[in-house]
Structure 1
Amino acid sequence: MKAMIFAAGLGTRLKPLTLDRPKALVELEGHTLLERSIRYLKAYGITDITVNVHHFAWMVTEFLRHHENTGIHLHLSDESEELLDTGGAILKARDFLAGDDPILLMNVDILTNLDLNRLLESHKQSGALASLVVRNRKTSRYLLFDQENQLTGWKNEITGELKICRPHQIDTSTPLAFSGMQLIQPHLLDLITETGKFSIIDLYLRLAATEQIMAFTDADSIWMDLGKYEQLDDARTLARQLDSGLA
């Protein structure tokens, strides 16, 4: 597998921690979020990793230069001029991601012990173009999946906005929360017609009308995204558990 870590976000909800650094370089128990993500991927033998940068891009570049990981081939996808969102990010980085291997995409602020071998095996068996890691948890925005785990739509619980890509299955679909991790086939990069800044979710919704965009329901692993400053203490506790192998 190859991998891409989305590390270009502004981290506005993590202020004041992100006033002088990017979210990727926020530390938990002595290790930055970016370092933790790279270590997690390396533990599964993933050594070809792309990192996109925007907010304090030079700091991420310098951090990686001074913390080179033996055996890791790192690529920097520079979005300094314009933040491209997740869909635009993979389009810009496509030359780094191209090849024959599945590509793992993940947000830099995720703490988890999800078994990536299980995800890869499920992805291969399903024949999916993309396998989206989802959980049965409360959130404001849901992905909708039918009984065959196929993506059928998206819903914003607060505004009531609904995007439907498979109308015939939408009434019997189950809402699940996206975990910010996904495994895609490299062929997906050739199907991108969008340009500029766009969300990868909107890309999936367009492709799901004709392609297999599938759910991988994660009910067993530990998972958290450090999205808000108020979550910092919980994130530190979880980081200690992950570091000790107790999570």
Structure 2
Amino acid sequence: MKAVILAGGFGKRLRPLTDERPKPLIEIAGKPILEWQIRWLKKFGVTSVFILAGYKKEVLIDWVSKNQEKLGVPIAILTEDQPLGTGGAIKRLQGFISPNEKFFVLNGDILTNLDLSKLEDQKSIAIISLVPLRSPFGIVKVDNEGNITQFVEKPVLKDYWINAGIYRMNSEVFEYLPEKGDIEKETFPLLAQKGLLKGITFNDVYWRSIDTLKDYEEANVEISEVFKD
């Protein structure tokens, strides 16, 4: 099974952590995000990884070359000179994916322990992992008379689902990928319209996208409890 890691973003909201390195190499609890991801992917039968790199690609190439043996899977890095978007980046892999082959795709800033084996559906060209929305704000509960009854700090809103940035695709997806553009804006809406896109919901899993310095700080506290091995 192959996995594709999207690692081309600039990580502007994580500066100064991304001044000299791309987001996947930001260290969480002593390990780069990329290392956490590969350790997790291997548990679900991933035997080779493609990294689609852009910003600070030379730093990423150097790190992978020095850590290839430790990571334990073959890693190929494809670079782009100008941003192609998530769809354009994935489309460049068409020659590396066999007809009827399935593969995982994930954003390079995700930490999670969700079960990839649940991303299975024979009729769909792509499957999106969905996780509950965590409110960025505390919630105040009020009764019918206006009395405040409870304060809830940043609750998980289980009636609302968000894209977890983790997908399973098959080779037919290349027909729907733009040469330049994003899967979220172009490919997924088209597949949904044709009934070829499925979402799998995950409750009670750990999931965090490292988008801001606050995410970085919180993940450093959380990660040791989630990945105890």
TM-score, structure 2 length as denominator? 0.83
Q: Corresponding residue for 2:17?
A: 17
Secondary structure of the residue aligned to 1:215 is strand
Q: Which residue of 2 aligns with 1:48?
A: 48
Contact 2:84 2:179 in 1 (8 A): no
Aligned to 1:137: 133
Q: Deviations over 1:7-29 (max 9, x none)?
A: 11101111110011111111111
Q: CA deviation at 1:136?
A: 2.8
Q: Do 2:208 and 2:215's aligned partners in 1 also have CA atoms closer than 8 Å?
A: no
With over 3 angstroms needed to count, the CA separation of the structure-2 counterparts of 1:45 and 1:230, relative to structure 1, is: same
Displacement of 1:75:
1.4
Q: Return structure 1 stretches of 4+ with deviation > 4 angstroms.
A: none
Q: Which residue of 1 aligns with 2:182?
A: 199
Correspondences of 1:161-240 after superposition (within 5 Å): 176-192=161-177, 194-196=178-180, 198-201=181-184, 202-240=186-224
SS at match of 1:68: helix
> What residue is the counterpart of 1:77 in the other structure?
78
Between the aligned residues of both structures, percent identity stands at 26
Q: Per the alignment, do residues 97 and 238 of structure 1 end up closer, same or farther by CA in structure 2, a change over 3 Å counting?
A: farther
Q: Which residue identity does 1:37 align to in structure 2?
A: Q
What is the Cα-based RMSD across aligned positions, in Å?
2.0
The unaligned stretches of length 5 or more in structure 1 are 141-173
Q: Give the equivalent residue in structure 1 for 2:36.
A: 36
TM-fit CA distance, 1:110: 0.9
Are the aligned partners of 1:5 and 1:106 in contact in 2 as well (CA < 8 Å)? yes
Deviation string 1:108-152 (CA, Å, 9 cap, x unpaired) is 111111011122xxx23x521111011231579xxxxxxxxxxxx
Secondary structure of residue in 1 paired with 2:101: coil
Question: Residues of 2 paired with 1:139 and 1:183: CA distance?
Answer: 27
Q: Cα distance, 1:52 vs. partner?
A: 0.8
Question: Aligned residues, how many?
Answer: 205
Q: Where does structure 2 lack aligned partners over 5 or more consecutive residues?
A: 137-158
